[in-house]
Chain A
Amino acid sequence: MFVLAELKDTIRIAPEQFHLKLSEAVRDEINRKLANKVLLNVGLCIALKDIVKLGDSIILPGDGASHTEVIFRYIVFRPTVGDVITGKIRSCSREGVHITLGFFDDILIPPTALQHPSRFEEAEQAWVWEYPLENGEGHDLFMDIGEPIKFRVSREIFEESSPIGPPDQAESASTSASQTTADVKTPYRIIAAINESGLGVLSWWESHGQEENGEDDGNEEDVEEVEMDTETV
């Protein structure tokens, strides 16, 4: 889920920071630049782990600052495709189920990757898994906001978000339009899936486990689990 990325950059240390130790000043500067930002094709940057190499500092004519080439390692949130992560449901909409991890919000489970069969309940604004019972009827399992959910990462999408031009083009209509397009463009999105047994809202599976454990540990558990698998598939 988290990886270390090795990066190289030239860091400018302004004269007012010369009283600090060079390594301290460089650390601060790197964190100021990267923390909580998405680096294209690298992931969401969290915090500096360590500095691998500090190069020689140089000064440029006309600039009182020093420039240092630094190789460093940064803690980055970058789940690999296939990872299973537990998050919380942020909201449900026609587009699918949105999930949050607290520090990262752009995770979407599209309707096609929900448990089958699922339907969207307009009144409740929630997705519902119509869990099939043995007698042919269905049992509705709601996906409510805030519930912990286990999902598998199925795709990652990086998008270059270039700086947006000057917003004031006279008409307010056009600005609102450009704002909405800017909102839509997220630099790093994760597409997830829960269409496997064991994935989805945690309580769906926990209750089964507990019941079985309560009855008798051992083989029975596995037998029932297998039955459930065949039902859901």
Chain B
Amino acid sequence: MEVSNPCYSVLTNLEVMESLRGIKDTKKKYGLRNLATITYETLQFLEETPCKNQTREGISSFINEVKAFKLTKTECLAIVNDPPTLPLHIQLLIEDSEERLTEDQVNQLLAIIAKHLITNE
């Protein structure tokens, strides 16, 4: 085994969930018990997170709409994976948020998040 790149790219929880569902649907008749265990457990976890209701379109429109806030890629990913609902959570995910965002902007951001990432609860 050779590791050519331990972090080729990052994945959103939604992408992971989609691939795992694909694997679960093409059920294999023999062996692969480890795969079955980990897909089952990971899906269980993901289906309790907000990514269950997210869509690819929702995420891309979210990315487009928050361009104005000048967030880094990692921050966007963190928001997509664990969408904040309180201004306090924004503080956690965005470094120096007090300096980079005004109170109004934080509220706008929360509204955009609620619209695209936390749909039909």
Contact = CB atoms under 8 A, between A and B. Distances in A.
B85 A84 contact: no
A83 interface: yes
Given A36-B37, A102-B45, A198 B92 contact: yes
Contact count band on B: 35 or more
Nearest to B88: A198
A84 B49 CA distance: 13
B20 A46 contact: yes
A198 B88 CA distance: 6
Contact of A47 (B38, B86, B92, B103): B38
Interface string A147-181: 00010100000000000000000000000000000
Nearest to A196: B92
Nearest to B39: A47
Contacts of A9: 1-2
A103 B38 contact: yes
A2 B13 contact: yes
A168 B31 CA distance: 30
Contact of A225 (B2, B28, B88): B88
A198 B91 contact: yes
A47 B20 contact: yes
Nearest to B89: A198
A59 B3 CA distance: 24
The listed residue with most B CB atoms (<10 A of its CB), out of A42, A47, A85, is: A47
Interface string A109-153: 000000000000000000000000000000000000000001010
A28 B103 CA distance: 52
B interface, over-half SS: helix
A191 B1 CA distance: 27
Contacts of A231: none
A209 B1 contact: no
Contacts of A6: 3-5, 8
Interface string A28-54: 100110011101011101110100000
14 contacts: A3-B8, A3-B9, A3-B11, A4-B9, A4-B11, A5-B6, A32-B34, A35-B32, A35-B37, A35-B38, A46-B42, A80-B74, A84-B82, A84-B93
Interface of A: 1-9, 28, 31-32, 35-37, 39, 41-43, 45-47, 49, 71, 73, 75-78, 80, 83-86, 101-103, 150, 152, 196-199, 205-206, 209, 219, 221-222, 225
Q: Which 10 A-B pairs have the closest CB atoms?
A: A103-B41, A35-B35, A36-B38, A36-B34, A102-B45, A6-B5, A198-B88, A8-B2, A35-B34, A6-B8
